[in-house]
Amino acid sequence: MNNRMVKKTTQQELIRRRQHFMGNAYRLFYDRPLHIVRGEGVWLYDSDGRKYLDVYNNVPHVGHCHPHVVEAISRQTRVLNTHTRYLHEGILEYSQRLTRKFPEGLDIAMFSCTGTEANELALRLARAKTGGTGMIVSEHAYHGNSWAIAQITTACETSEERGDNIVSVPSPDSYRGLYAGQDQAAEKYAAHVATAIDMLAQRGHRPAAFIVDTILSSDGLPTIPAGYLARAVEIVRDAGGLFVADEVQPGFGRMGSEFWGFATHNVVPDVVTMGKPMGNGYPVSAMVTSRGVIDEFTGHSHYFNTFGGNPVACAAAMAVLDVIEQENLQSNALEVGAYIRRGLRQLAGNHELIGDIRGSGLFIGVDLVLDRDTREPATDAANRIANLLSQRGILVGTEGPHDNVLKLRPPMVFSRHNADLLLQGIEDVLVLEPAS
Amino acid sequence: MNNRMVKKTTQQELIRRRQHFMGNAYRLFYDRPLHIVRGEGVWLYDSDGRKYLDVYNNVPHVGHCHPHVVEAISRQTRVLNTHTRYLHEGILEYSQRLTRKFPEGLDIAMFSCTGTEANELALRLARAKTGGTGMIVSEHAYHGNSWAIAQITTACETSEERGDNIVSVPSPDSYRGLYAGQDQAAEKYAAHVATAIDMLAQRGHRPAAFIVDTILSSDGLPTIPAGYLARAVEIVRDAGGLFVADEVQPGFGRMGSEFWGFATHNVVPDVVTMGKPMGNGYPVSAMVTSRGVIDEFTGHSHYFNTFGGNPVACAAAMAVLDVIEQENLQSNALEVGAYIRRGLRQLAGNHELIGDIRGSGLFIGVDLVLDRDTREPATDAANRIANLLSQRGILVGTEGPHDNVLKLRPPMVFSRHNADLLLQGIEDVLVLEPAS
C-alpha cells in the first residue's frame, strides 16, 4: 500500500474504534475527519505531520500549548490540586483579578468546570432570586448539554420535550428574516421579548431569566441593531427577570473592542457566565454576579463543585489572563479581525456568494448566499468550502440556523500573516464555486 | 505579633477575601480552616509547613501529585489539548481500557468533566430509553449540583422545590432505622422500591431510573443486606426503568474486593457513572453503558462536551489506571482497609462511643453513638473528633443523615504505617471524649 492508502486505513480504523467504544452520539468535523496529534500557537498537525491553520478553535484562546499556560498547569499539578474546602490563595487571587474585569457590583465569582455548569448555576441563581421559572432564549441558541440547559439550547434537537417555561424569541438578525431592512428593529425585538413574557404569564410562569450569548454565535452572529439588547433587558427586568450574559463564546477579549460581549451592547448583566477559553483547554468555567443576586440562593443552597476552581484550574486561568495582557491579545483581535473583514469585503467584490460579513474582533461570520437579492442561504456551498479549506490546511466551521455562515474564530494570537493565508485560502476555494 | 497570631490573621484575611470575592455559597472544612499549599502521596502541607495525614480525599486517588500522573498531564498539555471532533488515539485507548473493566455488554464510554455531568448524561439517556420521567433515589443521596441532579440529591437542602417525578426510598441501613435488626431486610427494601414505583404511577410518571451510589456514602455507608440491591433492581426493570450505578465514590478499586461498587452487590447496571478519582484531580468523568441503552438517545441527540475526554483528560485517566495496576492499589485497599477496621474494632472494645464500623476497602464509616442500645447518633462527638483530629494533623470527614459517621476515605496509597498513625490519632482523641 502507498502512504495515502495506509493513512486512509488508519483513519477508517480510528473511526471504527470510535463507534465501537464511544457509540453514535459523537460527531467528527469534516467529510474527511482529521487525526490531529500536535498543536502549537495557531497550528494543528495531523499524524502525517501535515499542518493546519486553526481558524476555528477558541478554546486554545492564547494559542495551542502556549508555554506560559503549559508551565503554570505543570507547576501547580506538581505541587497541589485539591478543592475549595481548604483555603488557597490561587482562587482568591484569580477571583479578584477576574471580577476587576467587570463593571462595579459584579464582584462575586463562583467556579465550575464547563460552560454548561456555569449556566446551570446561573439559572439556579436566577430562579432562586426571582421566584420565577420562565426562561427567554434566542431561537437558535446554544448554552450546553445538561438536561436543563439542553432545554434552553434551541439550536439542537433533543430527545426531551421542551418545558412550557421556555419561550424563544427570533434572532435579531438585521440581514435576513423578520428584522431585515426594518426600521426600529430594536423596538420590534423588544416587543417580541415582551410578547414572550406575556406567553410565559399565560402558562403560569414569571420570568426568571433572559439568557443570551452576547455574540449570538449559534444564531449565525447576526449584526444586532444598536440598543436592541439594552431595551429588551429593561423589559425583562421590569417583569422581574434577570439578564444572564453567556460569555462562553465572546468573552476574554475576543470582541477586540471590549473584553466582554455584553459591553459591546452597553448593558450590564445581572449574571455572567464564561467557560471555553478561560483555561486555554484546562476544564474551568465561572459565573460572576453580585451579592444582591446570589444571597437568595445561598440562603437555601450550598455549592460545591469538586474540580471547580481547583488550584490547577486557577493557575491555568491566571496564566491565560497574563498572556492576554502581556501579548496585547485584545488589541490584536481588534486589529487582525478588522484586517480579515477588510480582506473579506475585497473578496466579496469578486464573489457573489459572499452575502454578508459580520462579527467583532476575532469572531467573524461570512454569510454565504445563492442570491444577493433574495439572500437565500448557500448551505451546501458553506459546507463544501469548509471541507475544501480543511483539505487545503485551513480549519473553519459553519454556523447559523441555515448552517450557511462560515465561522472564523481562531486562537487570539492569529497574526496578519495568518490572516493573509486564510484570505488566500478562501479565495482559492471560492473560485472553484460555480455560483461565485 | 508571634507566629501564631500572624497565622491567625492570615487565615482570617483569607476567609474575609473568600467571602468578599466568592460569596457565601462555599463551605470550608473544620472549625479552624486549613490553608493547604502542597500535597504529596497521603500528605497535605499547610502554609506553616505543618503536615496532615489525608484520610479524607478520594480525588487524589493514587496519591497527591503522583509523579506518573503529573508527568502524563504535563506531557500531553505540552503537545495537544483539543476535543472529540478530531480523531485522537488517547480517547480510544482509554475507552477500550476502561470498558474492559466492566461486565460484557457495558462497552460504550462517553466523557464529560464532572460527576454531575456524567449523572446528567445518564439520566438523559434513561429518559430517552424508557420514555419514563420517574426517578427513584435514596433518601440521603448525593449525586451532584446541576438543576436536575440537585433535584435527586436528597441529602442537600436546595432553593428549588423537588419535582413530583422524584421519590426517595429509605436507606437500607441494617444498623439504625426501619431495617435495623430486621429479618428479610432485602425483601422489605424491595417492597419500598415497589411502593415508590406505585407512587410515581399515581402521579403519572413511569420510572426512568433507579440511581444509587453503590457504597451509599452520603447515607452514611450503611451495611447493606445481602441481595437487597439485586432484588430492588429487578423490580425497577420489571416496571421499565433502568438501574444507574453512581460509582463516583466507590469506583476504581476503592472497595478492595472489587473494582466497582456494583460488583459487591452482584448486580450489573444498565448505566454506570464515574468521576472524582478518575483523573487524580484533573477534571474528567465518564458514563459507561450498552449500545441498547444509548441508541434511543443518539437517535435524537448529539452529545458534545468541549473539555470532556480531551487528550489531557484521557492521558491523566490512563495514568491513573497505570498506577492502580502497577502499585496494586486495589489489593492495598483490601488489605489496609481490613487492617484499619480491625484496629477500629479493638478501639471499640474500650470506647462505647463507637457503635458500628462499616464500609469496604479504603472507604470506612465509623458510626458514633451516645448509647449502644438506643444507637442514638453522637453527632456532636463526631464533629468534635473530626476537628480535634485535624488539629492533630489527621484529616477525616463526617457523613450520614445524622452526620455522626466518621468518614475515612484516604488516597489509595494509604499504608499500614499510615493506618497506625490514624488509629493512634483516633485513640488519642477518643480518650478525651466524656462518653467514651
Last residue of some domain: B326, B355, B372? B326
| Bridge partners, residue B137, by sequence | B168, B211
Average pLDDT for chain B = 94
Specify the DSSP class assigned to residue B436: -
Q: Of A59, A116, A294, which has the smallest distance from its Cβ to B117's Cβ?
A: A116
3-state SS, residue A75: helix
Which chain A residues are closer than 8 Å to B300 by Cβ? 157-159
Whichever domain contains B426, its CATH number is 3.90.1150.10
- Pull the grid cell for residue A42: 495557531
Same domain for B240 and B349? Answer: no
Residue corresponding to grid cell 488557597? A88
Are B70 and A78 within 8 A, CB to CB? Answer: yes
Specify the DSSP class assigned to residue B224: P
Question: Rg of the Cα trace of chain B?
Answer: 22
Q: Mean per-residue pLDDT for B277-299? A: 94
Are A27 and B108 within 8 A, CB to CB? Answer: no
Specify the DSSP class assigned to residue A64: B
Per DSSP, which regions of A55-165 are E strands? 108-112, 134-138
Do the strands B207-213 and B134-138 form a parallel or antiparallel pair, or are they unpaired? parallel
- Write out pLDDT tens, residues B113-129: 999 999 999 999 999 99
Per DSSP, which regions of A345-410 are E strands? 354-360, 363-368, 394-395, 397-399, 405-408
CB atoms within 10 A of CB A176: 23
Which chain B residues are closer than 8 Å to A283 by Cβ? 113, 282-284, 307, 310, 313
Domain count along chain B: 2
Q: Mean per-residue pLDDT for B301-305? A: 89
Are B77 and A80 within 8 A, CB to CB? Answer: no
Whether B156 and B202 have beta carbons less than 8 Å apart is answered as no
- Could you give the CA distance from residue B267 to residue B264 in angstroms, rounded to a whole number? 8
Identify from A307, A314, A387 which residue to disrupt to test chain B contact, counting B C-beta atoms within 10 A and taking the largest count: A307
Same domain for B47 and B123? Answer: no
- Could you give the CA distance from residue B278 to residue B288 in angstroms, rounded to a whole number? 13
Whether B222 and B216 have beta carbons less than 8 Å apart is answered as yes
3-state SS, residue B280: strand
Residue A28 falls within a domain, yes or no? Answer: no
Whether A410 and A400 have beta carbons less than 8 Å apart is answered as no
Are A303 and B26 within 8 A, CB to CB? Answer: yes
In this model, does residue A96 exceed pLDDT 70?
Answer: yes
Same domain for B257 and B394? Answer: no
Domain that holds residue B286: 67-326
Residue A165 falls within a domain, yes or no? Answer: yes
In this model, does residue A188 exceed pLDDT 60?
Answer: yes
Percentage with pLDDT > 90 across chain A: 87
Which chain B residues are closer than 8 Å to A83 by Cβ? 59
Do the strands B51-54 and B43-46 form a parallel or antiparallel pair, or are they unpaired? antiparallel
Whether A78 and B65 have beta carbons less than 8 Å apart is answered as yes
In this model, does residue A289 exceed pLDDT 50?
Answer: yes
Are B92 and A116 within 8 A, CB to CB? Answer: no
Residue B317 falls within a domain, yes or no? Answer: yes
Tell me what pLDDT residue B344 has: 98
Which chain A residues are closer than 8 Å to B145 by Cβ? 112, 117, 120-121, 303-305
Of the candidates A245, A169, A167, the one whose C-alpha atom is nearest the C-alpha of residue A206 is A167
Of the candidates A335, A373, A337, the one whose C-alpha atom is nearest the C-alpha of residue A352 is A373
Same domain for A77 and A211? Answer: yes
- Write out pLDDT tens, residues A356-388: 999 999 999 999 999 999 999 999 999 999 999
For residue B288, the distance in angstroms to the closest alpha carbon of chain A comes to: 9
Are A117 and B117 within 8 A, CB to CB? Answer: yes
| Bridge partners, residue A175, by sequence | none
- Could you give the CA distance from residue A313 to residue A369 in angstroms, rounded to a whole number? 42
For residue A157, the distance in angstroms to the closest alpha carbon of chain B comes to: 6
Are A117 and B146 within 8 A, CB to CB? Answer: yes
Question: Rg of the Cα trace of chain A?
Answer: 22
Same domain for B293 and B338? Answer: no
Query: Is-above-0.80 flag for pTM?
Result: yes
CB atoms within 10 A of CB A13: 12
- Could you give the CA distance from residue A61 to residue A41 in angstroms, rounded to a whole number? 9
Are B307 and A91 within 8 A, CB to CB? Answer: no
Question: A359 φ, ψ to 5°?
Answer: 105, -175
Q: Mean per-residue pLDDT for B123-146? A: 96
Do the strands A207-213 and A166-169 form a parallel or antiparallel pair, or are they unpaired? unpaired
Identify from A91, A120, A143 which residue to disrupt to test chain B contact, counting B C-beta atoms within 10 A and taking the largest count: A120
3-state SS, residue B138: strand
Higher pLDDT, B379 or A6: B379
- Write out pLDDT tens, residues B74-114: 999 999 999 999 999 999 999 999 999 999 999 999 999 99
Of the candidates B236, B229, B194, the one whose C-alpha atom is nearest the C-alpha of residue B212 is B229
- Could you give the CA distance from residue B113 to residue A255 in angstroms, rounded to a whole number? 27
For residue A238, the distance in angstroms to the closest alpha carbon of chain B comes to: 23
- Could you give the CA distance from residue A316 to residue A310 in angstroms, rounded to a whole number? 10
Which chain B residues are closer than 8 Å to A302 by Cβ? 25-27, 156
Tell me what pLDDT residue A124 has: 95
| Bridge partners, residue A405, by sequence | A367, A399
pLDDT band at B343 (very low <50, low <70, confident <90, very high): very high
In this model, does residue A347 exceed pLDDT 80?
Answer: yes
Whether B178 and B221 have beta carbons less than 8 Å apart is answered as no
For residue B194, the distance in angstroms to the closest alpha carbon of chain A comes to: 26
Per DSSP, which regions of A36-105 are E strands? 36-40, 43-46, 51-54
Based on the number of CB atoms within 10 Å of its own CB, is A374 exposed (0-12), middle (13-18) or buried (19 or more)? Answer: exposed
Are A65 and B83 within 8 A, CB to CB? Answer: no
Are A307 and B281 within 8 A, CB to CB? Answer: yes
In this model, does residue B226 exceed pLDDT 80?
Answer: no
Last residue of some domain: B289, B304, B326? B326
- Write out pLDDT tens, residues B12-55: 999 999 999 999 999 999 999 999 999 999 999 999 999 999 99
Tell me what pLDDT residue A226 has: 74
3-state SS, residue B313: helix
Whether B103 and B189 have beta carbons less than 8 Å apart is answered as no
Residue B26 falls within a domain, yes or no? Answer: no
Q: Of A39, A73, A156, which has the smallest distance from its Cβ to B82's Cβ?
A: A39
Tell me what pLDDT residue B436 has: 55
Which chain B residues are closer than 8 Å to A127 by Cβ? 159-160
Whether A302 and A85 have beta carbons less than 8 Å apart is answered as no
Are B99 and A57 within 8 A, CB to CB? Answer: no
Q: Which residue of B has its CA nearest to A121?
A: B146
Q: Of B24, B109, B305, which has the smallest distance from its Cβ to A114's Cβ?
A: B305
CA B407 to chain centre: 11
Are B23 and A291 within 8 A, CB to CB? Answer: yes
Based on the number of CB atoms within 10 Å of its own CB, is A351 exposed (0-12), middle (13-18) or buried (19 or more)? Answer: middle
In this model, does residue B298 exceed pLDDT 90?
Answer: no
Q: Which residue of A has its CA nearest to B28?
A: A85
In this model, does residue A1 exceed pLDDT 60?
Answer: no
Same domain for A293 and A367? Answer: no
Same domain for A314 and A416? Answer: no
Residue A22 falls within a domain, yes or no? Answer: no
Same domain for B182 and B264? Answer: yes
pLDDT band at B300 (very low <50, low <70, confident <90, very high): confident
- How many A-B residue pairs are in contact by the CB < 8 A criterion? 344
Tell me what pLDDT residue B434 has: 78
Higher pLDDT, A436 or A405: A405
- Output b/e per residue, A87-109; b: 16+ Cβ within 10 A: bbebbbebbebbbebbeeebbbb
- Could you give the CA distance from residue B2 to residue A234 in angstroms, rounded to a whole number? 55
Q: Which residue of B has its CA nearest to A45?
A: B80
For residue A155, the distance in angstroms to the closest alpha carbon of chain B comes to: 11
For residue A181, the distance in angstroms to the closest alpha carbon of chain B comes to: 35
Residue A183 falls within a domain, yes or no? Answer: yes
3-state secondary structure string across B104-136: CCCCEEEEECCHHHHHHHHHHHHHHHHCCCEEE
3-state SS, residue A18: helix
C-alpha to C-alpha distances, B360 to A82, B256, B265, B340, B409, nearest whole angstrom: 24, 7, 12, 11, 10
For residue A260, the distance in angstroms to the closest alpha carbon of chain B comes to: 19
CB contact set of B303 (below 8 Å; sequence gap of 6+): A25, A26, A145, B110, B121
Same domain for B314 and B367? Answer: no
| Bridge partners, residue B244, by sequence | B211, B271
pLDDT band at A211 (very low <50, low <70, confident <90, very high): very high
Do the strands B271-274 and B363-368 form a parallel or antiparallel pair, or are they unpaired? unpaired
- Write out pLDDT tens, residues B150-183: 999 999 887 778 899 999 999 888 899 888 877 7
Q: Which residue of A has its CA nearest to B279?
A: A307
Same domain for A302 and A398? Answer: no
Same domain for A123 and A40? Answer: no
- Could you give the CA distance from residue A331 to residue A325 in angstroms, rounded to a whole number? 10
Identify from A29, A65, A87, A399 which residue to disrupt to test chain B contact, counting B C-beta atoms within 10 A and taking the largest count: A87
Residue B111 falls within a domain, yes or no? Answer: yes
Q: Which residue of A has its CA nearest to B280?
A: A81
For residue B272, the distance in angstroms to the closest alpha carbon of chain A comes to: 14
Whether A380 and A364 have beta carbons less than 8 Å apart is answered as no
Whichever domain contains B178, its CATH number is 3.40.640.10
Same domain for A425 and A319? Answer: no
Last residue of some domain: A300, A326, A352? A326
Residue B15 falls within a domain, yes or no? Answer: no
Q: Of B91, B145, B146, which has the smallest distance from its Cβ to A304's Cβ?
A: B145
- Could you give the CA distance from residue B414 to residue B332 in angstroms, rounded to a whole number? 8
CB contact set of B12 (below 8 Å; sequence gap of 6+): none
Are B81 and A74 within 8 A, CB to CB? Answer: no
Tell me what pLDDT residue B1 has: 46
Q: Of A25, A85, A96, which has the smallest distance from its Cβ to B301's Cβ?
A: A25
CB contact set of A52 (below 8 Å; sequence gap of 6+): A34, A36, A43, A44, A45, A46, A390, A393, A394, A395
- Could you give the CA distance from residue B39 to residue B52 in angstroms, rounded to a whole number? 9
